[in-house]
Amino acid sequence: NAGVTQTPKFQVLKTGQSMTLQCAQDMNHEYMSWYRQDPGMGLRLIHYSVGAGITDQGEVPNGYNVSRSTTEDFPLRLLSAAPSQTSVYFCASSYSGQGYNEQFFGPGTRLTVL
Amino acid sequence: GQQVMQIPQYQHVQEGEDFTTYCNSSTTLSNIQWYKQRPGGHPVFLIQLVKSGEVKKQKRLTFQFGEAKKNSSLHITATQTTDVGTYFCAGLYSGGGADGLTFGKGTHLIIQP
């Protein structure tokens, strides 16, 4: 099992550009989520999904879109990148229900917006 | 929204000394999880505590969940250089809710050989 994979590992964008961060898991987990990690801020939930076709907002959803067309994939789209979105982004999955089971995190994408 | 306060933010210890990090919530938690993140790495699950007053051990690590289910601690005995990293607690509030887990801001453990 590859677990949770994320691409790309590093990305530099200019303000206003859009891009998609990819996340995939091969553990047949129903629950997937996206976090951003900023110095001194811990992990903050952006969006989550409880299954294919179902998504919802977390604590900091503004400027991001998600979709979940398959169980395996949960891409995160930045619509118009801003310097405030410079961060490390982690995708995570769990068997079911966030908080009820172990969260498996991907290796992260380090994004810089100039 | 709900907050989980974690202290200290940084902890410097000499190798071989003990280390403790604490998490506190103003409201009751359903459960609490602990994660470790090595420098440059991603969070890795350590343990989950569910019951009031629960104590669990993993080798040199001892995890506790308070009687009121509002606080938790992680204690490492005789730290080693492999313990370096950031330790996060993550609490789930009763009733779950859309936000699910709420992470503390983490404690950075720095070990001086």
Closest Cα in chain B to A49: B98
Distance from CA of B104 to the nearest CA of A (A): 6
Task: Read off the tokens for A100.
Answer: 């009820």
Under the banding of pLDDT at 50, 70 and 90, the label for residue B1 is low
Q: Which amino acid would we find at residue A14?
A: K
Q: Quick check: A40 pLDDT over 90? A: no
Q: pLDDT at position B2, please?
A: 77
CB distance A78 to A25 below 8 Å: no
Chain A nearest C-alpha distance from B58 (Å): 16
Residues A28, A94: Cα–Cα separation, whole Å: 9
CB atoms within 10 A of CB B54: 18
Picking from B42, B96, B101, the nearest residue to A108 by CB comes out as: B42
Q: What contacts B5, CB < 8 A, 6 or more positions away? A: B23, B24, B25, B104
For residue B98, is pLDDT > 60? no
User: What does the pLDDT average to over B21-36?
Assistant: 95
What pLDDT, in 10s, does the model give residues B70-82?
A: 999 999 999 999 9
Chain A interface mutation, best of B4, B38, B42, highest count of A Cβ atoms under 10 Å: B42
Which of B99, B105, B108 should we substitute to test contact with A (largest number of A Cβ atoms within 10 Å)? B99
On the CB side of A106, CA atoms within 13 Å amount to: 30
CA distance B18 to B84: 13
Pairs across A and B, CB distance < 8 A? 63
- Condensed to tens digits (0 to 9), the pLDDT of residues A53-89 reads 999 999 899 999 999 999 999 999 999 999 999 999 9
Q: Is A45 in Cβ contact with B33 (below 8 Å)?
A: no
Q: What whole-number distance in Å separates Cα of residue B6 and Cα of residue A51?
A: 31
CB contact under 8 A, B43 and A44: no
Contact B92 A45 (CB under 8 A): no
The per-residue pLDDT of chain B, averaged, comes to 93
Residues from A in contact with B at Cβ < 8 Å: 33, 35, 40-45, 48, 56-59, 90, 97-100, 102-108
Please determine, for residue B43, whether its predicted confidence score (pLDDT) is greater than 70: yes
Contact B100 A33 (CB under 8 A): yes
Q: Is the pLDDT of residue A98 over 80?
A: no
Terminal-residue alpha carbon distance, chain A: 36
User: DSSP letter at B5?
Assistant: E
Residue for token digits 């966030």? A98
pLDDT at B97: 52
A6-37 tens-digit pLDDT: 999 999 999 999 999 999 999 999 999 999 99
Distance between CA atoms of B14 and B37, rounded to whole angstroms? 20
Q: DSSP assignment of chain A, as one string?
A: ---EEEE-SEEEE-TT--EEEEEEESS--SEEEEEEEETTTEEEEEEEEEETTEEEE-SS-TTEEE--SSSSB--EEESS--GGG-EEEEEEEESSSBTTBPPEE---EEEEE-
In this prediction, residues B56-62 reach a mean pLDDT of 98
Compare all CA atoms of chain A with the CA of B101 and give the residue at the minimum distance.
A99
Say what the pLDDT of residue B79 is. Answer: 97
The two beta strands, A10-13 and A109-113, are parallel
| pLDDT of B111 higher than 60 | yes
